[in-house]
A and B are shown apart, each in its own frame.
Chain A
């Protein structure tokens, strides 16, 4: 069954359908991660996006159990690969990637030269695209034109006890489950609240974590306001990915859209102060403009490949944000010490 990807530059990429045979539209982005597709596909930051894997063989170990999911379901709008594995092999595998996409009503497209597609996205920048099945005509959809956060944020606050005394308020802009796990593992109790929920005066907490999430940070006006309050109250705040962009906006800095973003597990960053280097997991299309940081804030990390800002920190160290994912999942955990540093502040 021929299925096509149509990009906004009118190029057509023919392949074969897998997963659910439905049509979809979104922003086409690529990841160079060679593994971790279960974690990636369930990452809410991918909301509204069609994800292209540059590694040609995806699905080899099937779909491992739910504890590796980053949210309850597949978040991407579509999946594009060179070859999907229909006979996966792993002791933890529950089902094939194909079946999982079907269950989640997500279309997949295989038989695509994903290197060529990636080169196009790299040269021309991220593009809108649509996967069309059965000659069905659908329109393009630009997820960056709307606020995606409400679509992935939870509706009501939720408590997670770890037995520890310290409590953290995790603002959910579409959090990855492993961020929550990293906090719980450090003996913190966590209250997750919706992206627009003002926690002040409603419950006590020792620090705030602003999660990752999809889309343009400037859409998260309400979250920015909440973070501003936390900063005024001198609370320790840690922002991750979109969270770090929100912190920067709250501090008065600016953000901008990258040409094609960083989506991979091998992004090298350098700590400006210590000079130490780390390999990090990343998934973001927007970035902080370090030149716009107000006094009292400085760049914490920068990217060794393209010198973009990878983290900000306040002079007193209480407010910090990292553009990468210290929780890994997928990806390396070399920077998990960022959580430890945060715990020390509480």
Chain B
């Protein structure tokens, strides 16, 4: 076997719906596997918050867009002799296919490792896929490909409705849906054809069981299936949107091994070397099967399978790509057996997707063949009820269990559960409570009866309990029966808090009663072989279905780190980076570590990064359960985002030692009243605000401080609507919606045309050790997670920076900050105001750390360990600039308005470096799929001020020879100023030439749509909404923020693609 010397690995770029943190896991595993063979690695990935782009992983890292242009440049420069395409999701695979098409691999004599291009093409093109599999006698759905609407309609007739319409080469099922008739197909096919030149019309398998296998094959044709998974939801719902259980629960031996045999047949046929994911549909009444998808790459499912089984799929796949065989490699869990085996589980795992519809003001949404979820959780246990209830709590959306809400009547419930939606699991429980039979529910939902019957165990128990309580049993009834009840409740997965609600008492009371009765969960190991062989595994979960602990808890010198929990809008891979770096620092300093997390898409849940991994809930109850067993020296909760941070006070109350800033001080920053008072004492300015308990008071206050104001509910539950309000009418409307929920409201002054600035800092006992200040491109009013962030700041007065530093010093001192923190400021005319302060690591920590080449988390961890650290001054004079930009997934969130506002909407981020802000910004935009305009731009500017402010940029675009389309008033204004424009009618005007048609016909390359904040009537908002929505739906780049649009145009004017330097991360530092 001849190993390559230098291998290029393509990452997956910014996180978006359909392609998330799982590829940080697979990429970093691949790098580890190559490094072990002493192969040099070069990584392209503009996702700066990832672990894989951190020190100690690849030898060279390029924070550049993953597209054929940049990747070819990197190949030309680095001259690798091998390339891995299977570890960066669809982005890497598609880039690889384009490179192959262009002959780049031959040109540079570059060997594609693992699965070959031909195989990828066969699995990716539906046409080739179907033809190939038919040839080997494997069953696939009846299907026809279509290149235009007519062909699509003809295929629909041939198969018979309903049919599925899918786009080829797409992420997470984008552009695919079930259509019931001809007219629907016409509409859907049009959209799908806009995304892909070839679409597919298929037999509808709605209601069939959906089963997946993860299969591996080495170059000597040895094959294994690492695990199988069964979707709780039937076919017709994207697997990323389904609740998934592993191993399969309702398949017979015959079915299980038939599908396994077919999976192996398929992987052999495609000659895949490495890993592949095969999806099957299985008829629930006949056992017939269809192969519906083969993914010749690591996928979300393979990441999940790795976490379910403990089998390091990505790591082994990378080794297989190099030419190793499965039997040569070790099972890294048992360390005594080999990698050629199929894990046997003695537990089960359930994955539930996390949707963030509430963030956009939508209650619950229909889920379909397209992916809309933004993250997922996985729970492990020994019965389905136990695991399911764990999993819904892990979602961190306020559910204590599956019995939660939907107190509707039988008919209403039966009608809503018919359609798959983001809250169906709760509706099913509610239906059972109302007496709808399990058979009926199975019939209505097409979910297998087994699952419903298991859920019924939970609701039946609940009903019995209610009955007992109504007969006078209560907590005061001491004795055996209460003990038995609690024991059973815990086995059904009820949390202490949930039981407290049922027994009308407190969580603490239930908790202590439970401990008194000796009802405590036991720790079990995940060892891949169901205890058949001894294993020193550190991969753990807790269950109430056991009597024996797998561990002896002898090690007392351990530190516990609480990681991020599920990814969602607002908490993503950046917190995984923080947790992983914390653990690494702890270990480097000879501490034993315990990590807790429940997110299967993460690197932090790789059992080799920590001494012990608890794949568990990040709830107070569960963290306490673990603490009572492990007795760690301390807990670090400031590196995993808001979920662990929220546990500070309650853990402190339970006498758990928290490392870093004290819980009381964290509370002082979290509690709005306390923090405000503190700022007052320190004479640090803040926008005027008040918490108000009635609508009239809110309106009075808003008028007193003058509109615009920012309004939000006083407590924020999964990002409930915070908005900027410009008028009394709007406020009244907003209050009317909120009042229904009877909550207090916070009104604060919104300061227009202010700059927003972030300070990331690390302090020791109140003294700042590291501080990095960065500026937003967009003015205040855009959530910091959606803003483009520049470091070092380019447009701040020295005076402003000095004032910010002074304020940081005062706050750090006052709050005794002892670890990481992030403070956000507004600046206008050199006046600064504090708008937020979090005494934990922030979203910008990985970006800042990499930009400064100083690991802020490492420093924070050393401080928490009371290690001696030097006082370092911040670095502002760098020879380069970094810009971090948001990645949006609006194209997947159908009804959402793709506009920037105070609520966060982005799902990921990319960051690039450049010699100036323009270069870095342009690269970063390209890295988030914003193609540069070639021929035309549509400009729509609301209000006089926006028009004037954008005039110079409009001139530049015109001067560049672009065709300028404009809406009515904007067109008049531009023409008056000597810019030739063609006017297009707005979509609602329904006259031609119309924006909608031009977008559909791809006559517009870029849309700049800036609304007038002072004049947002609902109607105008709707008109502009239609433009924005269509822009996103047709995949055209969109700017909705004035400052961002201006900078983009300036950058576009100054730089050609050739000017964008292909420098590695190290190249920038060499120059300094």
Contacts and interface: CB of A to CB of B under 8 A. Distances in A.
A275 B342 CA distance: 18
B946 interface: no
B253 A55 contact: no
A320 to B, nearest CB: 21
Contact of A331 (B257, B336, B548): B257
B326 interface: yes
Contact of A54 (B325, B337, B449, B530): B530
A14 to B, nearest CB: 9
14 contacts: A32-B346, A32-B530, A57-B383, A68-B253, A83-B382, A83-B383, A266-B341, A266-B529, A276-B221, A276-B222, A279-B224, A305-B529, A305-B533, A328-B257
Contacts of B545: 56, 82-83, 113
Interface in B326-344: 326-327, 336-338, 340-344
A115 B346 contact: yes
B253 A60 contact: no
Contacts of B250: 60-61, 89-90
B261 interface: yes
A92 interface: yes
A203 interface: no
When A and B form their complex, which 10 residue pairs have the shortest distance between CB atoms, in order from nearest?
Answer: A36-B253, A116-B548, A89-B450, A32-B344, A32-B530, A89-B449, A54-B530, A266-B342, A87-B453, A54-B346
Nearest to B451: A89
Interface string B257-268: 100110010000
A134 interface: no
B252 A92 contact: yes
Contacts of B251: 35, 61
Contacts of B398: none
Bin chain B's interface residue count: 35 or more
B153 interface: no
Contacts of A329: 253
Contacts of B348: 56-57
Contact of A56 (B256, B343, B346): B346
Contacts of A87: 438, 449-450, 453
B529 A32 contact: yes
**Which residue, of A89, A90, A113, has the highest number of chain B Cβ atoms within 10 A?**
A89
A295 B342 CA distance: 35
A166 to B, nearest CB: 26
Interface string A30-41: 101111101100
Interface of A: 30, 32-36, 38-39, 54-57, 60-61, 64, 68, 82-83, 85, 87-92, 113-116, 118-119, 122-123, 264-266, 268, 270, 275-279, 304-305, 328-334
Interface stretch (B35-43, B284-292, B901-909, B1042-1050): B284-292
Contacts of B222: 276-278
Contacts of B252: 35, 38, 61, 64, 68, 90, 92
Contacts of B530: 32, 54-55, 115, 118, 264
A113 B383 contact: no
Nearest to A83: B383
Given A36-B253, A60-B250, A61-B250, A54 B547 contact: no
B632 to A, nearest CB: 25
Contacts of A119: 531, 548
Nearest to A303: B337
B547 A89 contact: no
Contacts of B345: 34, 55
A67 to B, nearest CB: 9
Contact of B249 (A54, A57, A114, A270): A57
B254 interface: yes
Interface string B693-722: 000000000000000000000000000000
B106 interface: no
A34 B249 CA distance: 9
B264 A334 contact: yes
**Which residue, of A33, A113, A270, has the highest number of chain B Cβ atoms within 10 A?**
A113
Contacts of A82: 382-383, 545
A88 B325 CA distance: 40
B341 A268 contact: yes
Contacts of B256: 35-36
Given A60-B450, A90-B250, A304 B338 contact: yes
Q: Is the interface of A mostly helix, strand, loop or mixed?
A: loop
Contact of B347 (A56, A88, A278, A333): A56
B633 to A, nearest CB: 29
B330 to A, nearest CB: 11
A113 B449 CA distance: 26
A56 B453 CA distance: 17
Given A268-B340, A332-B261, 19 more contacts: A34-B247, A34-B345, A38-B252, A54-B344, A55-B346, A56-B347, A61-B450, A64-B252, A68-B253, A87-B453, A89-B250, A113-B546, A122-B534, A276-B220, A276-B221, A277-B340, A279-B340, A333-B257, A334-B264
Interface string B499-542: 00000000000000000000000101000011111100000000
B450 A85 contact: yes
Contacts of A275: 220
B384 interface: yes
A9 to B, nearest CB: 15
Nearest to A86: B453
Contacts of A334: 223, 264
A212 B698 CA distance: 82
B546 A115 contact: yes
A91 B546 contact: no
Contacts of A304: 327, 337-338, 340-341
B455 to A, nearest CB: 11
Interface in B258-309: 260-261, 264, 284-287
B532 A118 contact: yes
Given A89-B450, A116-B547, A119-B548, A268 B534 contact: no
B767 interface: no
Interface in B439-494: 442, 448-450, 453
B605 to A, nearest CB: 21
A114 B254 CA distance: 25
Nearest to A281: B257
Contact of B532 (A56, A91, A264): A264
Contact of A268 (B254, B286, B338, B382): B338
A278 B340 CA distance: 8
B521 to A, nearest CB: 12
A268 B287 contact: no
A33 B530 CA distance: 9
A91 B220 contact: no
A332 B548 CA distance: 32
B327 A60 contact: no
Contacts of A30: 532
Nearest to B337: A305
A328 B256 CA distance: 12
A83 B342 CA distance: 23
A205 to B, nearest CB: 30
Contacts of A34: 247, 344-345
A38 B261 CA distance: 20
Contacts of B264: 334
Contacts of B249: 57, 60
A34 to B, nearest CB: 5
Interface in B870-919: none
Contacts of B341: 266, 268, 279, 304-305
Contact of A116 (B337, B449, B546): B546
Given A38-B253, A55-B346, A122 B546 contact: no
Nearest to A278: B222
A305 B333 CA distance: 13
Contacts of A56: 346-348, 382-383, 545
A39 B253 contact: yes
A305 B247 CA distance: 22
B346 A114 contact: yes
Nearest to B531: A118
